[in-house]
């Protein structure tokens, strides 16, 4: 599994991603879903009767990879063939709505658009269950003339793309000639080719690709080897595919065991995944391919790309059907791995990464600071007011040494760890972080909050960090105080001294 420190590093890399153009070549499929209630068996035969409730249409095959890429922030260009029919028009319509360039899709008069219709039943208001699938397709190889036409379409697109994905469902498009044309052109242009292979024995059509991403069943069929023990035999299986077909790398997807990455030259690495509630594996391979392509296009190492692919694929299997996973969901999952959903006192390094991810999600960051020695109702009201100014409230807390410098040698009454723990227990507080300087200026510059909150008693005083926050587009808010409440007064009353 991904460690907390590695998750922080992945979050930082994710925040720096741009939107590369990625070319997706492969079999295009239109997925249709018919939903209904399965409440009884037919009197005519021992089969369920489905009372129709609704339907949904979405893209599948290589088009699904393109949709996933668009959700991750890429600019996908889709190449494939469809029939000259209403399904083709619907597929293009859905792709364009997702932000995909469909100008290179070719429609043919001699074959239908591949279409899969699934009957989904729901019994006693429980989970949806696929009950039947009807396929309308033609899988004969396309003609040589069409292959030449596609080669002409592909050549300039390959030169322009950051990464090329080959998504093969063995529907007649990606024969040996077309795959080798793509791989050769990409190699000459210095572009990376990722292949999600079909369930076939012969991988020679993919020879020379940079990386191939078979699942366990596909890899066993293509290599002729069976995996009894993942730890012992995955390297042998991956190495066999690399040596047989001159791949630079092989990335095996191993279900609940995660993924295994093997390079042509060098040791392999296992990438375990955390246990998940698997609801539907449909689309998991497409999501992994999309994440790998997006990561590599942004200069991420293969090891980190596989870790991100693990995260994306894991999220996908928790959904029913093919549901795009966007970068915000990936960021949130990495935050959960860091463990800070349950820890409000991260290191400063982790806090910076978390706030960057939250900003990307459109969240407003609020900052305030203080000693917070003996917490009272005034503090609680003040922090509630501060939280209302945005989505996430970060509280900077003076270290023990800085409190002594401000308040004298008898303070603080409560040490830093105790003060942080009490603040973290408040619902209004998102994160707490300590600082040792005389003022929080350096901390404010590190975090650059959108809103800086101070008490109303600063109306006629300089507010530390005001200039920095305002120069970076933020604002300063003065919060009202609850009269008669202060830590000093509370301490004096406890000591039997008259309040000052």
What is the average pLDDT across 221-236?
Answer: 83
Residues 316 and 421 in one domain: no
CB atoms within 10 A of CB 309: 27
| 232-235 own/partner pairs: CB under 8 Å, 24+ apart | 234/260, 234/262, 234/268, 234/270, 235/260, 235/262, 235/268
Residues 51 and 133 in one domain: yes
pLDDT reported for residue 483: 60
Take residue 260 and report the two structure tokens written for it: 């295994």
Q: Is the pLDDT of residue 491 over 60?
A: no
Residues 454 and 396 in one domain: yes
pLDDT reported for residue 339: 57
Asked if the structure places residue 318 within a domain, the reply is yes
Q: Which of 148-162, 337-351, 375-389, 416-430 has the highest mean pLDDT?
A: 148-162
Band (pLDDT 50/70/90 cuts) for residue 410 is confident
Q: Is the pLDDT of residue 275 over 70?
A: no
Share above pLDDT 70 across residues of the chain, in percent, rounded to a whole number: 91
Residues 239 and 321 in one domain: yes
Asked if the structure places residue 500 within a domain, the reply is no
Into how many domains does the chain fold?
Answer: 2
Strand partners, 128: 122
Band (pLDDT 50/70/90 cuts) for residue 180 is very high
- Say if residues 277 and 260 touch (Cβ distance below 8 Å): no
pLDDT reported for residue 282: 65
Residues 354 and 330 in one domain: no
What is the average pLDDT across 172-199?
Answer: 96
Asked if the structure places residue 215 within a domain, the reply is yes
Q: Which of 338, 370, 392 is the last residue of a domain?
A: 338
Distance in angstroms (rounded) separating the CA atoms of residues 280 and 438: 55
What is the average pLDDT across 244-271?
Answer: 91
Q: Which of 295, 320, 338 is the last residue of a domain?
A: 338
The more confidently predicted of residues 179 and 130 is 179
Asked if the structure places residue 225 within a domain, the reply is yes
Residues 282 and 402 in one domain: no
Note the pLDDT tens digit of each residue in 19-50.
999 999 999 999 999 989 888 899 999 998 99
Residues 334 and 414 in one domain: no
Query: For residue 352, which of 466, 446, 473, 450 has the smallest C-alpha distance?
Result: 446
pLDDT reported for residue 353: 80
- Pairing of β 365-370 and β 392-398: parallel
Asked if the structure places residue 74 within a domain, the reply is yes
360 is in which domain, residue-wise? 348-494
Asked if the structure places residue 328 within a domain, the reply is yes
Query: For residue 180, which of 163, 143, 205, 203 has the smallest C-alpha distance?
Result: 205
Note the pLDDT tens digit of each residue in 191-206.
999 999 999 999 999 9
Q: Is the pLDDT of residue 493 over 60?
A: no
Residues 197 and 120 in one domain: yes
Residues 325 and 361 in one domain: no
Distance in angstroms (rounded) separating the CA atoms of residues 263 and 250: 7
- Say if residues 259 and 235 touch (Cβ distance below 8 Å): no
Note the pLDDT tens digit of each residue in 304-348.
999 999 888 888 877 766 778 888 788 878 877 765 444 788 888
CATH number of the domain at 246, please. Answer: 3.40.1190.20
Asked if the structure places residue 343 within a domain, the reply is no
Please tell me whether the peptide bond between 322 and the residue prior to it is cis, using omega within 30 degrees of 0.
no
What is the average pLDDT across 457-484?
Answer: 86
Asked if the structure places residue 458 within a domain, the reply is yes
CATH number of the domain at 455, please. Answer: 3.40.50.620
- Say if residues 451 and 389 touch (Cβ distance below 8 Å): yes
Residues 367 and 223 in one domain: no
Residues 400 and 334 in one domain: no
- Say if residues 455 and 481 touch (Cβ distance below 8 Å): yes
Q: Which of 308, 338, 368 is the last residue of a domain?
A: 338
397: Cβ contacts below 8 Å, ≥ 6 apart: 369, 370, 371, 372, 416, 419, 420, 423, 432, 433, 434, 435
Catalytic residues: 286
CB atoms within 10 A of CB 55: 12
Residues 37 and 111 in one domain: yes
Q: Is the pLDDT of residue 11 over 90?
A: no
């Amino acid at each position: 599994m991904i460690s907390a420190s590695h998750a922080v590093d992945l979050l930082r890399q994710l925040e720096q991603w741009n939107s590369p153009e990625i070319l997706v070549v492969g079999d295009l499929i239109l997925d249709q879903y018919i939903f209904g209630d399965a409440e009884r068996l037919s009197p005519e035969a021992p089969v369920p009767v489905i009372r129709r409730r609704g339907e949904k249409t979405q893209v599948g095959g290589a088009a699904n990879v393109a949709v996933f890429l668009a959700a991750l922030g890429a600019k996908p260009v889709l190449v494939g063939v469809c029939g000259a029919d209403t399904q083709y028009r619907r597929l293009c319509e859905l792709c364009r709505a997702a932000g995909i360039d469909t100008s290179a899709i070719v429609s043919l008069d001699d074959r239908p658009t591949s279409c899969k219709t699934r009957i989904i039943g729901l019994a006693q208001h429980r989970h949806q269950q696929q009950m039947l699938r009807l396929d309308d397709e033609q899988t004969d190889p396309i003609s040589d003339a069409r292959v030449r036409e596609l080669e002409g379409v592909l050549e300039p697109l390959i030169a322009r793309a950051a990464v090329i994905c080959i998504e093969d469902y063995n529907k007649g498009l990606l024969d040996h000639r077309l795959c080798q044309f793509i791989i050769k052109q990409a190699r000459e242009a210095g572009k990376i080719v990722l292949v999600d292979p079909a369930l076939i024995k012969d991988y020679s059509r993919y020879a020379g690709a940079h990386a191939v991403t078979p699942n366990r069943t596909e890899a066993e069929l293509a290599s002729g080897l069976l995996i009894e023990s993942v730890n012992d035999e995955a390297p042998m299986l991956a190495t066999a595919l690399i040596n047989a077909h001159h791949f630079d790398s092989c990335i095996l997807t191993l279900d609940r065991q995660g993924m295994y990455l093997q390079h042509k030259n060098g040791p392999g690495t296992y990438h375990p995944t955390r246990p998940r509630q698997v609801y539907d594996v449909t689309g998991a391979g497409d999501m992994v391919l999309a994440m790998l392509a997006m990561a590599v296009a942004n200069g991420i190492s293969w090891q980190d790309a596989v870790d991100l692919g693990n995260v994306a694929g894991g999220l996908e299997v928790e959904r029913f059907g093919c549901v795009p996973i966007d970068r915000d969901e990936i960021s949130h999952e990495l935050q959960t791995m860091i463990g800070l959903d349950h820890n409000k006192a991260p290191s400063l390094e982790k806090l910076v990464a978390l706030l960057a991810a939250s900003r990307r999600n459109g969240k407003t960051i609020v900052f305030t600071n203080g000693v917070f020695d003996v917490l009272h109702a005034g503090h609680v009201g003040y922090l509630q007011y501060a939280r209302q100014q945005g989505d996430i409230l970060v509280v900077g807390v003076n270290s023990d040494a800085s409190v002594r410098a401000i308040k004298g040698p008898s303070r603080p009454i409560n040490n830093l760890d105790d003060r942080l723990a009490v603040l973290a227990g408040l619902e209004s507080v998102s994160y707490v972080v300590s600082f040792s300087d005389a003022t929080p200026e350096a901390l404010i510059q590190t975090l650059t909050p959108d809103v800086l909150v101070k008490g109303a008693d600063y109306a006629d005083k300089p507010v530390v960090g005001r200039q920095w926050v305002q120069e970076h587009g933020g604002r300063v808010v003065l919060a009202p105080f609850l009269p008669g409440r202060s830590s000093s007064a509370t301490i004096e009353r406890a000591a039997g001294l008259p309040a000052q």
